[in-house]
Amino acid sequence: MSVRSVVFDIGETLTSDTRYWAAWAQWLGVPPHTMSALVGAVLAEGRDNADAIRIIRPGVDVGAEWRARQAAGQGDYLDETDLYPDVRPALARLQAAGLWVGIVGNQNAQVTKLLRGLGLPADAIATSGEWGVSKPAPAFFARVVEWAPGEPQEIVYVGDHPANDIGPARAAGVRAAHLRRGPIGLTTAAPDADWTVDSLTELADALIPG
């Protein structure tokens, strides 16, 4: 069956998390490499990446801490330097080939506005904060199926995280592309993925007929 829609995860698929975690490190008063190591450790254990913050500040309300950062002028921020270099060319190629391009991942609603402000070549952009449901919940991927044009088997979800992206997408009947990028994408295999790629350029090559 042909592909009609390609839907992308956000963190470590389109954007690098480097700035995000460096900002948390500054706020929490730890070196950036400590923050990165803790994030990698909790993700390797299959835990929520916010557990890295909880290790540094046991018992902290991460949401309240994020709001405190916002109030202090240290809220979320994205600009062109946060995008991986293959993002714009690959998304533009997919659109030019007639495919519908969507972006949605586990991010707060503020990130939706930031992403839209980048003017990416995408037909629609959303976040879990906007939808009110997060991966890997089946309801998230049910929403993807309602949102993106085509039958489930005509939709491809692209992400780096086998447990959050690939497995749940396949369970929803959606085809899945595993991007080997970031600490989880590079260290965790996704044998049930329909495609495994090392870049979005490689993905575009695979999805666009020659």
Res 202 pLDDT > 70: yes
Question: Where is 124: in which H helix or E strand?
Answer: strand 124-127
Banded pLDDT at 178 (limits 50, 70, 90): very high
Q: Tell me the mean pLDDT in the region 158-168.
A: 95
Q: For position 44, what pLDDT does the model report?
A: 77
SS3 helix, strand, coil % of the chain, rounded to 5? 50, 15, 35
d(CA 176, CA 198): 14
Residue percentage of the chain with pLDDT more than 70: 99
Q: For position 124, what pLDDT does the model report?
A: 98
Q: What is the pLDDT of residues 114-149, one digit of tens each?
A: 999 999 999 999 999 899 999 999 999 999 999 999
Res 210 pLDDT > 80: no
Number of C-beta neighbours around residue 24 at 10 A: 25
Q: For position 184, what pLDDT does the model report?
A: 86
pTM to 2 decimal places: 0.90
For each of the domains in the chain, give its residue range(s) and CATH number, in order of start.
5-16+83-207 (3.40.50.1000), 18-71 (no CATH)
Q: What is the pLDDT of residues 8-52, one digit of tens each?
A: 999 999 999 888 889 899 999 999 999 989 988 887 787 878 899
Banded pLDDT at 1 (limits 50, 70, 90): low
Mean pLDDT (the chain) is 93
Q: What is the pLDDT of residues 41-73, one digit of tens each?
A: 887 787 878 899 999 999 999 888 878 988 888
- Alpha-carbon separation of residue 11 from 71, 165, 179 (angstroms): 23, 11, 11
